[in-house]
C-alpha cells in the first residue's frame, strides 16, 4: 500500500510540475522571460506563489527545467537521425539541417523563446554543456561508422566530432544564426555542410 501511495504522490507531483512548466513556457513566449514573474505563473494556474515554490525554488529553476526540455527535443531528433539506415555523410547532413531548422522554428521565429535560450547560454548552465557533450558523442559515433565503412579518412572520431561541431556552430547557435540570417556574405547552409563533410573525407 505504501508503494501505491508513493507512486500516486509522484504522479501527482509530475502532473503539477508539467502544468507549471507549460504555464511558464506559455507566459515566457507571450511576455518574455524577463517580464514574467513567479506570481504571474501562479496567477495563470489559479494557485498561490507558495505552491509554485513547493516544486521550484525560483524562476531560474523553472527556466532551467524548460531549457532542459527544449534540449531533450533537440537530442531526440539527433539520436533518431544517428540511427537511420543511411550513409554517415547523409546522417551528418540531416543532423545539421534538422538542428538549424529547430533553431529557426523555436528560437528565432519566437523571439521570446530566443531570449530564454540566450539567458541560459550566458549563464553557462551545466545542462547546456551536458547537451553539447551528448551531441558530440552521437556525431563521433556517426563519424566512426563512416571511417569503418571507408566513407571518411582514418582519423580520431572524437576530435573530428568536436571540429565538426565547431565548424557548423553558426548554423545551430541561436545568437549566431540570428546575426547571420540576413547577411548575404556568409556561407549558405548547404555550402557549409558540403565543406565540412568533404573535410572528413580527406
Question: What length does the chain have?
Answer: 202
Both 147 and 98 in one domain: the answer is: yes
The residue among 57, 19, 172, 154 whose CA lies nearest residue 104 is: 172
Distances (CA, A) of 188 to 53, 109, 180: 46, 19, 10
On whether both 12 and 77 belong to a single domain, the answer is no
Q: Which domain holds residue 5?
A: 1-57
Domain count, the chain: 2
Same domain, 49 and 113: no
Please report, for the domain that includes residue 53, its CATH number.
1.10.10.60
The answer to whether residues 93 and 121 belong to one domain is yes
Going residue by residue through the chain, which has 202 residues, state the pLDDT in tens, using 9 for 90 and above.
555 555 566 667 888 899 999 999 889 888 888 889 999 999 999 999 999 999 999 998 898 888 888 888 889 999 999 999 999 999 999 999 999 888 877 665 555 566 666 677 666 567 788 889 999 999 999 999 999 999 999 999 999 999 999 999 888 877 677 666 667 787 888 999 999 999 999 8
Q: What is the pLDDT of residue 22?
A: 93
Which among 29, 21, 12 has a CA at the least distance from the CA of 52? Answer: 21
Half-sphere exposure of 183 (CA within 13 A, CB side): 11
Shared-domain flag, residues 78 and 168 = yes
Please indicate, yes or no, whether residues 83 and 99 belong to a single structural domain of this protein: yes
One domain for residues 95 and 184: yes
Positive or negative, the CA dihedral 186, 191, 192, 195 is negative
Amino acid at each position: 500500500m505504501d508503494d501505491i501511495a508513493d507512486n500516486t504522490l509522484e504522479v501527482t507531483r509530475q502532473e503539477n510540475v508539467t502544468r507549471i512548466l507549460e504555464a511558464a513556457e506559455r507566459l515566457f513566449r507571450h511576455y518574455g522571460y524577463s517580464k514574467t514573474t513567479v506570481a504571474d505563473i501562479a496567477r495563470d494556474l489559479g494557485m498561490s506563489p507558495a505552491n509554485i515554490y513547493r516544486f521550484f525554488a525560483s524562476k531560474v529553476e523553472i527556466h532551467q527545467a524548460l531549457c532542459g526540455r527544449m534540449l531533450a527535443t533537440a537530442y531526440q531528433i539527433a539520436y533518431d537521425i544517428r540511427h537511420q539506415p543511411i550513409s554517415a555523410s547523409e546522417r551528418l547532413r540531416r543532423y545539421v539541417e534538422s538542428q538549424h531548422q529547430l533553431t529557426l522554428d523555436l528560437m528565432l521565429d519566437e523571439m521570446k523563446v530566443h531570449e530564454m535560450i540566450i539567458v541560459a547560454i550566458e549563464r553557462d548552465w551545466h545542462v547546456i554543456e551536458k547537451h553539447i557533450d551528448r551531441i558530440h558523442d552521437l556525431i563521433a559515433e556517426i563519424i566512426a561508422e563512416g571511417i569503418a565503412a571507408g566513407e571518411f579518412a582514418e582519423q580520431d572520431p572524437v576530435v573530428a566530432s568536436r571540429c565538426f561541431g565547431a565548424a557548423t556552430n553558426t548554423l545551430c547557435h541561436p545568437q549566431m544564426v540570428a546575426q547571420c540570417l540576413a547577411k548575404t556574405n556568409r556561407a549558405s547552409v548547404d555550402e557549409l555542410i558540403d565543406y565540412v563533410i568533404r573535410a572528413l573525407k580527406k
